[in-house]
């Protein structure tokens, strides 16, 4: 999934740090959160690397995860979305396209 990266860089960005299985930390910008509790029993987040460079088409790669937030709201558990979960991907794509239309 990619999107044209054309938002105002002066606006405040919401950032999170992801830690991979080797303990490496990467900073990401939260592009969009999606409430999927009613339909799928979980929420979703779309992320772009905070240091993302636009490609020759002015686009950056987007990563999508389902997430469960801890009770205190400061941390949570991100899980990859199964590639074969067409209903989830269709919902995410629909919400993302609506988000782009509003930008």
Question: How far, CA to CA in Å, does 103 sit from each of 15, 31, 98?
Answer: 19, 12, 9
Handedness of CA 26, 32, 33, 36 (dihedral sign): negative
Spell out the domain ranges in the chain: 15-102
Please give the pLDDT value at position 11.
61
pLDDT (tens digit, 9 = 90+) per residue, 53-83?
Answer: 888 888 888 999 998 877 877 677 889 999 9
Share of the chain above pLDDT 90, in %: 48
pLDDT (tens digit, 9 = 90+) per residue, 9-55?
Answer: 446 788 989 888 899 999 999 999 999 989 998 899 999 999 888 88
Please give the pLDDT value at position 55.
81
């Amino acid at each position: 999934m990619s999107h044209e990266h054309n938002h105002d860089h002066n606006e405040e960005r919401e950032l999170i740090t992801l830690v991979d299985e080797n303990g490496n930390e990467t900073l990401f910008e939260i592009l969009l959160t999606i409430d999927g509790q009613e339909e799928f029993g979980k929420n979703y987040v779309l992320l772009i690397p905070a240091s993302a460079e636009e490609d020759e088409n002015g686009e950056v790669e987007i990563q999508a995860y389902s997430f469960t937030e801890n009770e205190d709201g400061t941390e949570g558990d991100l899980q990859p979305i199964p590639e074969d979960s067409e209903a989830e991907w269709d919902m995410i794509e629909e919400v993302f396209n609506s988000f782009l239309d509003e930008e």
